[in-house]
Amino acid sequence: MAQKPSIPKGTRDFSPAETAGRNYIFDTIRSVFRTYGYVQIETPAMENLSTLLGKYGEEGDRLLFRILNSGDAFSGIDFDSYCIDKRTNSYDSRALSAKVCEKGLRYDLTVPFARYVVQHQSELSFPFRRCQIQPVWRADRPQKGRYREFYQCDADVIGSDSLLNELELVQIVDRVFGLLGISVSIRINNRKVLTGLAEIAGFPDKVVDMTVAIDKIEKTGLEAVEAEMREKGLSEEAIKVIEPVLLLSGSTREKIACMRTMMGGGSASGIVSETGLKGLDELDELFGLISAASVSQEVVLDLSLARGLNYYTGAIFEVKANDFQIGSICGGGRYDNLTGIFGLPGMSGVGISFGADRIYDVLKGLDLFPESIAESSRILFANMGDRELRYLLPVVKSLRDAGVACEIYHEHSKLKKQFDYAAKKSIPFISIVGEDEISRGEVNVKNLTTGEQKSFAASDIEHLISFVCR
Amino acid sequence: MAQKPSIPKGTRDFSPAETAGRNYIFDTIRSVFRTYGYVQIETPAMENLSTLLGKYGEEGDRLLFRILNSGDAFSGIDFDSYCIDKRTNSYDSRALSAKVCEKGLRYDLTVPFARYVVQHQSELSFPFRRCQIQPVWRADRPQKGRYREFYQCDADVIGSDSLLNELELVQIVDRVFGLLGISVSIRINNRKVLTGLAEIAGFPDKVVDMTVAIDKIEKTGLEAVEAEMREKGLSEEAIKVIEPVLLLSGSTREKIACMRTMMGGGSASGIVSETGLKGLDELDELFGLISAASVSQEVVLDLSLARGLNYYTGAIFEVKANDFQIGSICGGGRYDNLTGIFGLPGMSGVGISFGADRIYDVLKGLDLFPESIAESSRILFANMGDRELRYLLPVVKSLRDAGVACEIYHEHSKLKKQFDYAAKKSIPFISIVGEDEISRGEVNVKNLTTGEQKSFAASDIEHLISFVCR
């Protein structure tokens, strides 16, 4: 009996139009990465679970897709010893899955990259700039805009702490969204400044709680942020130190100057933070480089930007579309010890990740995809019979060799049917070559939009191409 | 403690040079597919096991990678009821894995394509030409040249039985290998002729045994093939009918004529095969179209070609490199009922699949990769300090915007170190801009291979580009 076909929840088929749109995004990003000396690598979809486990927190471990060991995965396992409650057949799932699964699907591109760098360090020259565009898998609860399989497009440079790298990532973002025609604002912060802020507030150990709270200011407002900080144990005095930072306005230069005063001992607490001052130096230098490089898109210092990720140690980036509400479409930052877990300490790196799914939605929503990418074929050659077909074959081959996408209707049938096919597939030109054209050695072409019709010598492919491709 | 990083056996990391080589292959194939009106789709890595199981035979089912259900995969399972032998803790693995795994990794692109066509039939216009370039996974025993994760590059057209489709697939093969610079021979056969051969031999039910034996003639020779047929139960009389076909020589036209006599009752058995005659008509028409379309690579009729696959019903293709021993690098054929298993009967299709891994090995082995693809950056700008850097930023940006891959050395350090970096990464040009150049408004560039050196006005990017990209 026939099965009703379906795909696992949270996964997607991509239609020809969607795939073309996605390729347009990937190709654009890849071409820009390349001009900045980033070279592409690929890593396997499956990694050893020992590589993945413990790298994404408890939640991440739970969301890994695990691959059942091949062969006889269950033999020799004493299931009773994993049983928690015999009546309900409850088992210690974590221990049992570790027993029957040794591999998992990659959860992001960063951990496989760290693993790659350590494993291949002798083959690489540092600083090593790599880009990687591959799918990742997460067993998240599927919901609108969240999928269990999605692509990440990452660029990271490892083995250099120069802020030139940060500048170049900003330039890459600038160029990619410039080419895609999306107006964005690039928000920048520095993790050291957030650390400094926690220090001058007198709660150096609460930097994570503080940044998690601050990160929400755009969504929930000042009062809710302060309430959350209180809840997390920050004192009223601490909040008094932090509040002016949240309300800071003015130019980037002014913001940095004001923060410098505070970090230098000028806040309500009078505490000096060397880390905070170092972060401000970095921001100062980076913004100086950005103006020297004449970045086109808006770049702003946003001291509330935290991006939740604990492993950033310097710059933090986030990019939002100005004309489309969808959250962050690109983000990243500097981390100081990514490869340490795999035995290669002291490698500083900085990277960004483009969110292809959201970028797709922005391009679609703002109607920014170039028209040409959705097109399957530029011209349909009607099939008028065997003799006509043989006459056309070399003509069509020349067009294809020149890169023009063509179709010959697959069988000799009524012209109406062939026209309908062209219309349904939005093929913009049709050619109907019959006995007359053959006797004159010609090929005629009709523009199906304007109705314009032209004849070309079968040997004059060049003019035919400029007619159908102009 | 640091882990020694590794990847699962049978999987691979692809270095920048390998990824560039593979992209070159994929891009070439994709660009040719496109000119023939093939549109690209993508399907999820994970399919429901119900979609995959039973489609690849018993062996295939065993080689599927299964994904452990997310959440608590084991709760509520009564393991005792799956136990075969309590002393050795042996379990019914097949039944148990069906219980804890609902999804599997795709095993090829053909079954997901069939599933896609049925699921999305209302959105498609037929004939539907699709290409798909994605990895597949098989839990095969890893060995040289056989991997557990590898890419397939498929093109299939479904919903048309016109032989024009077969011709176009031959043209695609011709063009792809022409562009890659690989000399190939394209071997063609027709499954109906093989069926006819079994019929006139008097063993119509032994067509599979017969073709499996015949398929080995190049490797093992005539005697071994005949011995295998005898072993499979074919009579001496049958072998007498088959033998002349295996020894057939001459032009394609002569071979077809000779086979036509045999299928028409002129063989030792005197049996007539209508199916065989139909297959010969198809071959005749296809070879006629091929000569009308002036295919450049060698195309031969090979009546021993069987390709083991049971689902082919018409044309069978196989492509081998002429100057490199590696087996088939591309193959395919016509199938008549691919979508029937998913409830859409009567759709005839024909497709080919390019073997990217083997094509990579051929290009590498024959040194056919273009030099440019291995290159990371075209030019390295030395870092001579902050002032020089700021002077260079707009120059470098213009080069990058024009598509030239550039790097600025990440930090101000000894020139020797910077030159070494360029050498190690095979960057062919270096630019060292100091105070003199800045005062003259110039940028100087040195070709590291020839030693040639030139200066350009910082505003004259065009001439700089033609110097570094010629």
Residues B412 and B295 in one domain: no
Could you tell me if residue A461 is inside a domain? Answer: yes
- CB burial class (10 A; 0-12, 13-18, 19+) of residue B314? buried
| Sequence-ordered alpha helix ranges (H) in B317-401 | 356-365, 386-401
Binned at pLDDT 50, 70 and 90, residue A276 comes out as very high
DSSP summary character for residue B80: G
B377: which chain A residues are within 8 Å (Cβ-Cβ)? 37
Q: How far apart are CA A220 and CA A421, in angstroms?
A: 53
Q: Is B414 on the interface with A (CB under 8 A)?
A: no
- Nearest chain B CA: its distance from A328 CA (Å): 25
Query: In which band, very low, low, confident or very high, does the pLDDT at B1 lie, cut at 50, 70 and 90?
Result: very low
Q: Which domain holds residue A402?
A: 376-468
d(CA A205, CA A187): 26
Q: What is the mean pLDDT of residues B422-440?
A: 95
The reported pLDDT for the residue numbered B57 is 85
Give the domain-ending residue among A338, A365, A392: A365
Does the structure show a pLDDT above 60 at A294?
yes
A263: DSSP letter: I
Quick one: what percent of chain A has pLDDT higher than 90? 80
Residues B82 and B115 in one domain: yes
Residue A119 to residue B5, Cβ atoms within 8 A: yes
Residues of chain B with Cβ-Cβ distance to A162 below 8 Å are: 410-411
Query: Which residues from chain A sit within 8 angstroms of residue B5, using beta carbons?
Result: 51, 115, 118-119, 342-343
Give the residue from B386, B374, B422, B364 showing the smallest Cα distance to A34. B374
Quick check: A232 pLDDT over 90?
yes
Residues B217 and B281 in one domain: yes
Residues B354 and B457 in one domain: no
Q: Say yes or no to pLDDT of A310 above 80.
A: no
Instruction: Decide: B182 and B359 in contact? Cβ < 8 Å.
Output: yes
* Nearest by Cα to A349 from A153, A63, A9, A114: A114
Q: Note the pLDDT tens digit of each residue in B140-161.
A: 998 887 899 999 999 999 999 9
Cβ-contact B91, A74 below 8 angstroms: yes
The model's pLDDT over A429-442, given as tens digits with 9 standing for 90+, comes to 999 999 999 999 99
Which among B376, B466, B397 has a CA at the least distance from the CA of B20?
Answer: B376
**Distance (Å, rounded) from C-alpha A281 to C-alpha A261?**
13
Instruction: With a cut of 70, say whether residue A24 has pLDDT above it.
Output: yes
Question: Does A346 share its domain with A399?
Answer: no
A23, B136 in Cβ contact below 8 A?
no
Q: What are φ and ψ of residue B304, in 5° steps?
A: -95, 0
Residues of chain A in contact with residue B78, where contact means CB-CB under 8 angstroms, are: 89
| B127, B160 contact by CB (below 8 A) | yes
What's the pLDDT score for residue A278?
A: 98
Give the number of other Cβ atoms within 10 Å of residue B446's Cβ: 18
A197 within domain boundaries: yes
pLDDT at A308 (0 to 100): 63
**Quick check: helix, strand or coil at residue A137?**
strand
Q: Which residues share a beta bridge with B186?
A: B299, B319
Q: Considering only CB atoms, which chain A residues are within 8 Å of B60?
A: none
Identify whether the C-beta of residue A430 lies closer than 8 Å to the C-beta of residue A379. Answer: yes
Judge whether residue B104 has pLDDT over 90.
yes
Max intra-chain CA distance, chain B: 95
Q: Are B173 and B317 in contact (CB under 8 A)?
A: yes
Residue B69 DSSP symbol:
P
Task: In whole angstroms, give the CA distance from residue A155 to residue A7.
Answer: 31
Evaluate if residue A2 carries a pLDDT over 80: no
**Is residue B290 domain-shared with residue B439, that is, in the same domain?**
no
What span, in angstroms and rounded, lies between the C-alpha atoms of B395 and B50? 58
Residues B158 and B110 in one domain: yes
User: Measured between alpha carbons, how far is A287 from A325 in angstroms, rounded to an integer?
Assistant: 26
Share of chain B above pLDDT 70, in %: 99
**Residues B376, A115: C-beta atoms closer than 8 Å:** no
CA distance A65 to B67: 7
How does DSSP assign B186-242, residue by residue?
A: EEEEEHHHHHHHHHHTT-GGGHHHHHHHHTTHHHH-HHHHHHHHHHTT--HHHHHHH
> How many CB atoms neighbour CB A457 within 10 A?
12
Mean pLDDT of chain B: 94
B156, B351 in Cβ contact below 8 A?
yes
Chain segment A139-192, per-residue pLDDT in tens? 998 888 889 999 999 999 999 999 999 999 999 999 999 999 999 999 999 999
What CATH number is given to the structural domain containing A393? 3.40.50.800
Indicate whether B9 belongs to any domain. Answer: no
The kind and range of the H/E element at B372 are none
Please indicate, yes or no, whether residues A103 and A161 belong to a single structural domain of this protein: yes
Query: Are residues A421 and B6, on separate chains, in Cβ contact within 8 Å?
Result: no
The 8-class DSSP code of residue B81 comes to: G
Average pLDDT over residues A62-85: 90
Whether the bond into B428 is cis, omega within 30 of 0: no
Residue B20 burial by CB count (10 A; 0-12/13-18/19+): exposed, middle or buried? buried
Asked if A232 contacts A312 with a C-beta cutoff of 8 angstroms, the reply is no
Q: How near does any CA of chain B get to the CA of A214, in Å?
A: 32
In angstroms, the Cα distances linking A231 to A225, A274, A340, B79 are 10, 28, 34, 47
Rounded Cα distance, A303 and A196, in Å: 12
pLDDT tens track for B240-249 = 999 999 889 8
Residue of A nearest to B424 (CA): A125
Contact B350, B38 (CB under 8 A): no
B17, containing H or E segment: helix B16-35
* Cβ within 8 Å, pair B77-A97: no
pLDDT band at A28 (very low <50, low <70, confident <90, very high): very high
Q: Domain boundary at B337, B365, B393, which?
A: B365
Please indicate, yes or no, if residue A435 is contained in any of the structural domains. yes
**What are the pLDDT digits (tens) for B438-450?**
999 999 999 999 9
pLDDT of A374 higher than 90: no
C-beta atoms of B394 and A289 within 8 A: no
The whole-number pLDDT of residue A3 equals 60
CA gap B364, B20 in Å, rounded = 12
**Cα–Cα distance, A380 to B129 (Å, whole number):** 14
Closest listed residue to residue A34, CA positions, set B347, B265, B135, B16 = B16
- If you ran DSSP here, which 8-state letter would residue A173 be given? H
Residue B205, amino acid: D
Are residues B351 and B382 part of one domain? no
Contact B102 A44 (CB under 8 A): no
Among B41, B68, B390, select the one facing A101 at the smallest CB separation: B68
User: Is a pLDDT exceeding 80 seen at residue A286?
Assistant: yes
Portion 150-209 of B in contact with A at CB < 8 A: 157, 160, 162, 164-165, 168, 171, 175
CA separation for the pair A468, B245 (Å, rounded): 49
End-to-end CA distance of chain B: 51
With a CB cutoff of 8 Å and minimum separation 6, the contacts of B228 are B212, B213, B216
Paired sense of beta strands A379-381 and A406-408, if any: parallel
CB atoms within 10 A of CB B463: 11
Q: Indicate the residue among A329, A344, A365 that finishes a domain.
A: A365
> What's chain A's average pLDDT?
94
Question: pLDDT tier at A218 (50, 70, 90 boundaries)?
Answer: confident
Nearest to A428 by CA among A390, A466, A364, A376: A376
Of B427, B433, B411, B443, nearest to B379 by C-alpha is B427
Q: What is the residue type of B448? A: L
A443, A318: one domain = no
Instruction: Detail the DSSP E strand segments found in B234-335.
Output: 298-301, 312-321, 328-335
Q: Inter-chain contact A65–B63, Cβ cutoff 8 Å?
A: no
Phi, psi angle pair for A9, to nearest 5°: -60, 145
Please tell me the predicted confidence (pLDDT) of residue B143: 85
Cα–Cα distance, B107 to B139 (Å, whole number):
9
**CB–CB contact A13 B127 (8 Å):** no
Residue B121: half-sphere exposure toward Cβ, Cα within 13 Å: 16
**Is B266 found in the same domain as B381?**
no
The candidate with the shortest Cα–Cα distance to B105, out of B61, B25, B28, B45, is B45
What one-letter code names the amino acid at A294? S
CATH number at residue B140: 3.30.930.10
Predicted local distance difference test score (pLDDT) of residue B254:
95
Q: B83 with A74: CB under 8 angstroms? A: no
Are residues A156 and A300 both part of a single domain?
Answer: yes
Q: Are A151 and A135 in contact (CB under 8 A)?
A: yes
Interchain contact, B16 vs A405, CB within 8 Å: no
Could you give the 3-state DSSP secondary structure of residue A464?
helix
Q: Which two tokens stand for residue A296?
A: 């086109």
Question: What is the predicted ipTM?
Answer: 0.94
B232 within a domain of the structure (yes/no): yes
Residue of A nearest to B117 (CA): A5
| Residue A1 pLDDT greater than 50, yes or no | no
| CB-based contact, A247 to chain B, within 8 Å | no
Q: Please check whether residue B111 lies inside any domain of the structure.
A: yes
Question: Cβ of B426 under 8 Å from any chain A Cβ?
Answer: no
Spatial CA neighbour of A296 closest among B465, B458, B383, B394: B394
Cβ within 8 Å of B, A 67-126? 67-68, 70-79, 82, 88-91, 93, 96-97, 100-103, 105, 115-116, 118-120, 123, 125
Q: Choose among B53, B75, B82: nearest CA to B65.
A: B53
* Helix A207-214 × helix A222-231 angle, to 10°: 160
Q: Is A300 inside a domain boundary?
A: yes
Map tokens 């919903």 to a residue: B159
Closest CA to B186 of B163, B166, B214: B166
Mark yes or no for CB contact A2/B37 under 8 Å. no
Q: Is residue A370 part of a domain?
A: no
Strand, helix or coil at A382? coil
Quick one: three-class SS letters along A65-82?
Answer: CEEECCCCCCCCCCHHHH
Interchain proximity A7–B127, CB inside 8 Å: no
Contact A336, A114 (CB under 8 A): no
- Name the domain count of chain A: 2
